[in-house]
Structure 1
Amino acid sequence: MEELRDTHRLESRSQSDQIDKLRSQFAETEALLAAATASVARVEEESAKHKAETETLKTEVERAKAVGKEEEEKRVKAISLLKTVRTKLVKAEKDRDEAARERDAAKEEGVRERERGLAEKARLEGEVERARAERDKEVAALKAQFEKELAEVRDKFEKESAARKSQFELDAITSKAAYTKELNAKTARIAQLEASVRNMSQEKDSMFDQLQMRQAELESSQSHLESLQNQTMELQYQLREAADRTAVLSDELSEAQRQAETNGGLGGGVSHAEVARLISDAESKYEARLAELRTKIRVLERERVEAEEEWSKGLHSRSKEVERLRRELKEKEGEWKEEMRSAERRDEKVRELERALVRKDEEKERDRAERDSIRADLERAKEAEAAARQEREESESRISLLERQLEELKTRDVQLRANNKASIILLYHTIRDELRKLQSSAALLERQRNPGVGFWSNTSRANVSNPSSPPPDGPGVFSSPTSPRPSSPALSEQAGSIRHEEEVNLEYLRNVIMQFLEHKEMRPNLVRVLSVILRFTPQETRRLAAKV
């Protein structure tokens, strides 16, 4: 047990020692970890500082590059501007020479035009004089001939008009008398025909009335005949009834005889003589009635036959009378048509006479029209004479107009010469002023420019080392000869020249801005000039060019 306790104690002690060791190792590792984190933090801070320094260096390098590029662009733009100014100057000199040549050519052309105008004027004056003389001769000849023809035509027309007038009056009187005579005869004949037509119409009406009466009588006779036929049919019906009744009575009689025989055979009844008497009485009575009916039938038959004969005779006579009336109507209609045709022929003759009168009137109108045409010819001749006079006046006015145009051409030639001379002088002075302003602004920009990096730093150092040499690929106006350590009088002189150049540059800037605001078509070119003067960045220059 003690050994176990000792072993257990030793094990627990060894375990506690190990735990202490582990705790000490853990503390050491924590201390090392804290030191490592601190060193890492310091390293990170140092790296951040290095990064910030590198970023600042990069930004400075980029800024220096941008400044160098801007200076290079400004230099290139200034050089291109000077080149454009030189080309403009050369072009202006060429334009001036061309204007001088054109002026000389215009002067020579004006002299030739004036000479041609004078020659044309002389030629036109000669032609006008010849035309006037010829026109006067022709007008005089035409006037004499026209007056002679007019007198002849007037005499002829007066004679013909007098003859035609007398003939027309005679024809009118004779035609009027014949027309009135024939018209009176026609009116009398028309009145007679109208009276005959009225008589015929009256006769026609009376005959029509008689025909109506006869037709009424015929209809009444037909109705009477129908009534007689009806009576005959009734009598025949009564006769048939009497025959039937006699047959019935004979049957009754035979029946009575049979009964009587039967009764006699039985030993009682009426005697045979009495029966025979009754039968004979009945037979006589019925025979009398039959005879009476037969007589009535015969009378009715005779009356019917007589009525039929009378009706047929009346109908035949009426038909004959109707035929006669129809023939008379046809004859009257033929006579009426003949009268109408004769009336139409008379009307046609009257219309022919009226047309003859119209033709006479038309001939009179034609004569009047001929007389009016002769008068119109006379008026046209007068108008032709007036037109000839007007043409002569127009030719004179054209000559005066040509003279005025010649004077206007002379004055225009003088004005063109004066305007060309003034415009050439103004253009020359303007180009000279622009060149001076551009040179002064370029020199001022070169003096005010800060020393840059790269190419411009080299050029500035080259200028410092060799003040008399100009920069490469640039005119002498961009060189700024400076010494590294100028004296005070040189500084004061340089400051005065800078102020003078600033004033000149300000004047040039004002003129450029005025042109930019006044002339819209020059703005794209003036944007480049302003970008050089005001030192725009490329982004600003592009933005302004996009706006313009």
Structure 2
Amino acid sequence: MLNQRDVELAASHASLEESEEKSKKYALMLTKTKKQILKLEKEKSDTTDDLKHQLSLRSQELDQAKSELTRSQAKLQSTQSEINILQRERKEAVDEKNRMFDELQIKQAEFESSQSNAENLQHRLNESLRLVEEANEKIAALEESHVAVEEAKHSADERQKQWHEQKKRLEQDLKERSDQLLQLQQQLKQSHDSFENLTSQTKSLTQKIQTLESDKDQTSKQLKSLENEKLDLSQKLKSMQVDLSQNQQTLTEKKDLEDQLKSCNEKIQALEQGQSKEIEDLRAKEGYLKTLNKTLKEEIRKLSRVPSQPVMVSERAKSPTPEPKSNFATQQQQQQQQQQSPLLRSGSVTSIRSMREEEEINLEYLRNVIVKFLESKSTRAQLIPVLTMMLKFTPDEVKRLNHAA
């Protein structure tokens, strides 16, 4: 029974170690996913800041143009208002996320305070394995979404480069226009005869204005495409937040499993303490039985040493000599003596048989103790007192055994 309990304890320890290793792996995977989510949020904030900056620059450039571009300014203001609305929605989403995180922390505290049952441990471990597989699938999906976000970032960078190039072109056009206006003013001051040249220049300016308006339409289209991309990114962020909530649920379940493991460890320790107490009680009972065995052996030896005839002689010597009786009385006494002698002989035979049986039992017990002493090194220190009692070792021999163990 003790060996079976030791085997069961070893198996339970191994299973607990495996579950702890798995929980560590799950924690590492969850930290990696959190880091990736934080990186994505940072990239999103950077892209939104860049978009805001670029929109402000575009609005300034369009304000410096002629008063005929008021419609474009109104459109830009509408886009800015939409961006502000999106920012508010993002802030509300962040606030909701924080609120959900606080609620999850409260729920975690409530789950930690509640005691878990040891009977449902195996079932919950199977569920945790299934959840781990689902988490791995979700991590793969997150990696795919991360790749998509990187591609979107790359496309946004390319579009930023295009916007910078367009900005440079617009600045060059503005500089050229300013130069042309200076020339026109000088030409007006010099003479009114160059009216035809001015008309030609105005025609060229109108053509350039038309090109600018076409560029403006293109920029508005690009802004719309960027807004669509922003909406897609917001949807992706919402999906990532949902995945985050699911990962947090897996974390709570993992903490529940850890609490269950702790309770199981405490129960195992309590069982080990109970077993150690039972072993000590058994040892005390063994010592008591050994002492009883010794006393019984000594009594049996004393009884076996006492012969039957000297007892009868001593009894006759102690008893007073009776008066002579008839032959019939003497014959009866002889018959009684003959009947008592086989009873004494049978008692001595039974005592010898019991001695032999006890010696065989002691030999079997000694053989089992020696086999256990040779098999396991951990139990040698416990078996040395038993061997000293049975084989009557000297103190030097006991020291040699302790040194070898």
TM-score, normalised by the number of residues in structure 2:
0.36
Rg larger in 1 or in 2? 1
Q: Relative contact order (alpha carbons < 8 A, sep ≥ 6): 1 or 2 greater?
A: 1
